[in-house]
Structure 1
């Protein structure tokens, strides 16, 4: 399938998601509801597209992915009219450990 921005997209409903996420280096406590792999980087959960673009453009040393834990209200896909957005962090993870990549 061809995506809007010229990238090929393949959707996989993996019956063994925990093993898949472990193979991608996603720490168990950062696991969420879905995973995207773009240009070798792993994005777990409701990571804002602007943060994904920044990570892909800068390739921070030692970072293999970004994650948003859970489904915070106000994160991409979780916007609800009349509901107050929750504060949440985007966590960078990888060979250099983990750190806050962005706060929303």
Structure 2
């Protein structure tokens, strides 16, 4: 009810409104008229260019960093051996912890 007390000309500069605006059609209409003097923001274009460049640089950084790490592990034998040892120790540690947790919870359930 409060918005009905305003005159139609009060909403003239709001591009998001439709219906009773003099130079604006609703989204379902065939043509959409933009009020005179209204400027289109180029900010969306600038943001899309910025985010596009950001995502491309992030992808490129990930790709290069991943292959630098993986390339040294694959091509340099001492690093490959150390990497495999670390992976073996890590998997053994994870399996040990999960086994201990299973025994701990099974002991709690028995009580």
| Common fold by TM > 0.5 | no
Q: Normalising by the residue count of structure 1, what TM-score does the alignment of the two structures yield?
A: 0.14
Q: Normalising by the residue count of structure 2, what TM-score does the alignment of the two structures yield?
A: 0.14
Structure with greater contact order relative to length (CA < 8 Å, sep ≥ 6): 1
